[in-house]
């Protein structure tokens, strides 16, 4: 599947609000190819020459529903400042099994490939979470103990499975309310 800025479902399309279903394991060839294509998109999207040539918006994650496929699959790649992969997953049926009471938020807010308009404000999420699911990259069931930025990325992507977008979490009355007990991630 060709994945680029034109083929990614935007938030104006009601499909993005559709709930995703569990995926049968072992993966069908079609699901496997889609998840690997999603992983490739995320990887390539932060390489300037490729992103420009193929019309890719920079991303750290993408979920299948963003391609119009309501299945619980997501690809996440975090790179360091030099472009080296620090963390990568191609997850199937991931679910949060525990999360901290302590909250965290990104100082510069969140973004999403499916959201083109600006939505300013803080999005509070659990500072730590544990996620379990099948990872295609390692070809095994995994338990991810995430904190900080990775925890936020996981929660953002898993929200897509419920049809929830990041800006749904912004406090409408006071978008920049600062919780003094929350961890601010710069």
Q: What is the CATH number of the domain that holds 110?
A: 3.90.45.10
pLDDT digits (tens, 9 = 90+) for 113-138: 999 999 999 999 999 999 999 999 99
Give the CA angle between residues 3, 145, 180 to the nearest 5°: 95
Quote the number of domains for the chain: 1
The answer to whether the pTM exceeds 0.85 is yes
Q: Minimal CA–CA distance to 171: which of 103, 114, 112?
A: 103
Positions marked catalytic: 157
How many other CB atoms sit within 10 Å of the CB of residue 2?
A: 10
In-domain check, residue 113 = yes
In-domain check, residue 109 = yes
In-domain check, residue 9 = no
Q: Report the chain's mean pLDDT, rounded to a whole number.
A: 97
pLDDT digits (tens, 9 = 90+) for 60-119: 999 999 999 999 999 999 999 888 999 999 999 999 999 999 999 999 999 999 999 999
CA distances from 137 to 39, 40, 140 (A): 9, 12, 8
In-domain check, residue 1 = no
CA distance 114 to 68: 11
pLDDT grade, residue 1 (50/70/90)? confident
In-domain check, residue 150 = yes
Phi, psi (deg, nearest 5) at residue 125:
-135, 170
Q: Please tell me the predicted confidence (pLDDT) of residue 175.
A: 96
In-domain check, residue 124 = yes
In-domain check, residue 4 = no
In-domain check, residue 75 = yes
Range of the domain at 118: 14-185
CA distance 27 to 46: 27
């Amino acid at each position: 599947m060709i994945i680029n800025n034109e083929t990614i479902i935007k938030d104006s399309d009601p499909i993005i609000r559709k709930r995703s279903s569990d995926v049968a394991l072992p993966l069908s060839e079609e699901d496997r190819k889609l998840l690997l294509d999603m992983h490739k998109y995320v990887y390539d999207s932060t390489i300037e020459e490729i992103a420009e040539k193929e019309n890719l918006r920079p991303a750290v994650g993408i979920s299948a529903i963003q391609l119009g496929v309501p299945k619980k699959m997501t690809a996440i790649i975090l790179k360091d400042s030099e472009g080296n992969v620090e963390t990568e997953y191609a997850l199937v049926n991931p679910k949060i099994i525990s999360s901290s009471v302590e909250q965290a938020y990104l100082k510069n807010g969140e973004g999403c490939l499916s959201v083109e308009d600006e939505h300013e404000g803080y999005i509070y999420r659990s500072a730590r979470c544990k996620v379990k699911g099948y990872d295609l990259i390692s070809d095994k069931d995994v338990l991810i103990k995430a904190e900080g930025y990775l925890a936020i990325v996981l929660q953002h992507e898993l929200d897509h499975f419920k049809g929830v977008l990041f800006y749904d979490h912004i406090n409408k009355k006071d978008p920049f309310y600062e919780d003094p007990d929350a961890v601010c991630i710069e």
